[in-house]
Amino acid sequence: MQRFFFTFTHFFFFTIFSLLITTNVVATNYYVSATGNDSADGLTISTPWQSIAKVNSSFSSFLAGSTINFKRGETFYGTINIDNSGTNENPITITAYGTGNKPVISGFTTITNWTNEGSGIYSKVIPSDSLTNMVSIDGMQVGMGRFPDNEYLKFESFDTNKSISDKDLGTSTNWTGAEIVIRKNDWTIDRCVVTNHSGDVLSYKNLGSNQEPKANFGYFFMNDQRTLTSFGEWYHNPSTGVFYMYFGDVNPHTKVVQVATLNNLIYNNNQAYIRLENLNLTGSIDNAVQFQGGNDYCNVQHCDISFAGNSGIDLRAGSRACIVDNNTIRDCNNCGIDNNSSASQTTNNTISNIGRILGQSKAAVGLNGIYMTGNGGVISYNNIRNIGYCGIIVKYKGTSTVSYNRIDSVCLLLNDGGGIYTCKPSADVRIIDHNIITNAIGNYAGTPGNHSMAEGIYLDEYTSNAVVTNNTVANIGNSGIKLHKAHDNTIKDNTTFNCAVGVDFQNSSVIADYIHGISFRRNIIVSKTASQNSIFFHTKFNDDITLFGIADSNYYASPINDNPTFKLKQPAIGTKEKSLADWQAFSKQDAHSKKPPFAVKNTNDIRFEMNPTKILKTITLDGKYMGVDGKIYNGTITLKPFSSVVLMKY
């Protein structure tokens, strides 16, 4: 009895002691203010620390559950180095306190006291982690100087990924030491350093892609003082650290010039259970937020991220179960979000102006809104616009969902990409559902080509087990939905409108069995002009057209001429255009598919409406309209979230 009492008493006091410790861990808060003092304890809003340096020097001692609070309305220069982990119940949080705007964590240095170098060029020595890759004037990003300013030079030949040859180059200017930006193909811009200029040959070391260039593509020079000829162009000397900018006749003291001088703003090296919330992160040479790897269960939420020399958020491989939610990300040279973590969630983010300045990205695969690899995850309810290459690239190995995203204006600098792009076979399902994609443009400057290769939804080489349903794709330079050597995919209940091609099936190889197992049902394919095709099936293998799978119960509409066209190209028949009836007879497909019951006189009689929101949308009509399925609408029409309709004046 006495022994039991002794054990119970010790257990009681041990439990109370443990609870006190746990309570202390959860309740630990630290405060940072620009008017604080690093000699203070930082434990109250009356005794805050002053600097990021103080936070970094203390981080290893922060216990799980600690919160580091930066004061709203204030700016802090520095990189926050995360050097400790939280736990599932008690993550370490970096956030804001007080009222007003989010606290700014900045890597920008504002340049004053310029030195006049003559000829409109001014300079300033700036301490920097590395050569800068992000500069703004009056809050607008400006690019490095380049030659030529607005066009490409052309090379006729190349030697693997080592050199290019331009017969018109000459040696009047020796470009050794400068950078060269090479358009290697339709989908790749590579940034390289010129290691030797001999005659018409430029030898280089690539900084990004390992792909070999293609003959007769374009290039230009960059990152050399001799390229400074237009207002705002800049150059950062790698040996002296001197920063140069061309102002011409403009007084530099009338402009606010900010140069990123820190590589990262948040750097997390293998620490788990970290939360970043309510921060404004701006001005980095490399990634604004970099999670180096092994960063499990880390969240970035409600942050504003801008002016990143590489990507806004970079989650490296080896991390899992991270959440990136409700952030605003803009003006980044590479990607808005480059996410290689597994089982992650990327939701409700607004991403804009990514990869919009040629040559600024150093990445092999870049200029994307969201670039996702890893083992499964969810990408939903993101708003993505003004993107140099693809809106979303998905290369998951596990089950993934890309749904309810609004994507607009992509492929602005490159070609052969799309709003949503995926490739490679997968044993796991990739769901692409209820997305709205508009204005995939396609840019072929610096290539021998002369047409857009931009797609709405692009299932590229060997894609399998993709389920593409309930999406809307409109105003696309090439095709609304493209399948290139893709097999065993479902394409169902989608709408394409005003695309050069509604749906494009392509097999660019003579190898059989590349297009098969396709289920193509209940889609609405609407051409706005008579020159657009409903379907383009082009293959180098003769049996692809009749053996590709099943197509049925689709609506094909070309309201201007009442004659939807099916363009077919294969060795056995050459190139043919067929009507719906001819297509049905030839392919033995689309037995129950239809076209609208009447045509319209001009494009003004065709009305396209969409609802890229989470709530119902009611639209007032200016008369009586008919859908391509024959349904009549008069007065109003209500659209469900992330849906659309194409109407014809009745």
Burial class (CB in 10 A: 0-12, 13-18, 19+), 80: buried
> Which pLDDT belongs to residue 20?
41
Does the pLDDT value for residue 515 go beyond 60? Answer: yes
Mean pLDDT throughout 620-633?
Answer: 93
With contact defined as beta carbons under 8 Å apart, do 281 and 306 qualify? Answer: yes
Does a structural domain hold residue 619? yes
> Which pLDDT belongs to residue 364?
66
With contact defined as beta carbons under 8 Å apart, do 551 and 591 qualify? Answer: no
> Which pLDDT belongs to residue 1?
36
Q: Which domain holds residue 219?
A: 140-255
H or E element, residue 387 = strand 383-387
Does a structural domain hold residue 10? no
Q: Comparing 509-513, 545-549, 626-630, which segment has the lowest mean pLDDT?
A: 509-513
Q: Of 195, 228, 255, which one is at a domain's C-terminal end?
A: 255
Mean pLDDT throughout 360-387?
Answer: 91
DSSP 467-523: EEES-EEEEEEEEEEEEES--S-EEES-EEEEEEEEEEEEE-SS-SSSS-SEEEES-
The residue whose two tokens read 């306190």 is 97
> Which pLDDT belongs to residue 545?
78
What's the mean pLDDT when you consider all of the chain?
A: 92
Mean pLDDT throughout 536-553?
Answer: 86
Does a structural domain hold residue 160? yes
What is the Cα–Cα distance from 448 to 152, expressed in whole angstroms? 11
Tens digit of each residue's pLDDT (9 = 90 or more) over 194-217 = 999 999 999 999 887 888 999 999
DSSP 46-106: TS-B--HHHHHHHGGGPPTT-EEEEETT-EEES-EEE-----SSS-EEEEEESSSSPPEEE
Tens digit of each residue's pLDDT (9 = 90 or more) over 262-273 = 999 999 989 999
Q: Of 231, 255, 279, which one is at a domain's C-terminal end?
A: 255
> Which pLDDT belongs to residue 419?
98
> Which pLDDT belongs to residue 513?
64
What is the Cα–Cα distance from 81 to 274, expressed in whole angstroms? 12
Does the pLDDT value for residue 191 go beyond 90? Answer: yes
> Which pLDDT belongs to residue 548?
86
Does a structural domain hold residue 251? yes
The residue whose two tokens read 């650290």 is 241
> Which pLDDT belongs to residue 594?
95
pTM of the model: 0.94
Does a structural domain hold residue 219? yes
What is the Cα–Cα distance from 338 to 360, expressed in whole angstroms? 16
Q: Provide φ and ψ at 121, rounded to 5°.
A: -105, 135
Does a structural domain hold residue 474? no
Tens digit of each residue's pLDDT (9 = 90 or more) over 345-364 = 999 999 999 999 999 998 76
Does the pLDDT value for residue 527 go beyond 70? Answer: yes
**3-state DSSP helix/strand/coil percent for the chain, to nearest 5?**
10, 45, 45
The percent of residues in the chain predicted with pLDDT above 70, rounded, is 95
Structural tokens at position 138: 């009056």
> Which pLDDT belongs to residue 337?
97
Tens digit of each residue's pLDDT (9 = 90 or more) over 32-88 = 999 999 999 999 999 999 999 999 999 999 999 999 999 999 999 999 999 999 999
Does a structural domain hold residue 620? yes
- CA 415, 420, 426 angle in degrees (round to 5)? 110
Does the pLDDT value for residue 603 go beyond 60? Answer: yes
Q: What secondary structure letter does DSSP report for 6? A: H
Q: What secondary structure letter does DSSP report for 546? A: H
> Which pLDDT belongs to residue 497?
98
Does a structural domain hold residue 597? no
Does the pLDDT value for residue 18 go beyond 60? Answer: no
Looking at the structure of the chain, the number of domains it has is 2
What is the Cα–Cα distance from 329 to 282, expressed in whole angstroms? 10
Tens digit of each residue's pLDDT (9 = 90 or more) over 424-460 = 888 899 999 999 999 999 999 999 999 999 999 999 9
With contact defined as beta carbons under 8 Å apart, do 599 and 591 qualify? Answer: no
Mean pLDDT throughout 299-325?
Answer: 95
CATH of the domain at 607: 2.60.40.1180
Q: Of 255, 289, 304, which one is at a domain's C-terminal end?
A: 255
Query: pLDDT confidence of 27, banded at 50, 70, 90?
Result: very low
Tens digit of each residue's pLDDT (9 = 90 or more) over 383-417 = 999 999 999 999 867 789 999 999 999 999 999 99
What is the Cα–Cα distance from 354 to 164, expressed in whole angstroms? 28
CA proximity to 454, closest of 187, 233, 133: 187
What is the Cα–Cα distance from 645 to 553, expressed in whole angstroms? 17
Mean pLDDT throughout 488-494?
Answer: 97
The percent of residues in the chain predicted with pLDDT above 90, rounded, is 82
Ramachandran region, residue 211 (left: φ > 0; alpha: ψ -120 to 50; beta: rest): beta
Mean pLDDT throughout 147-153?
Answer: 95
What is the Cα–Cα distance from 503 to 556, expressed in whole angstroms? 11
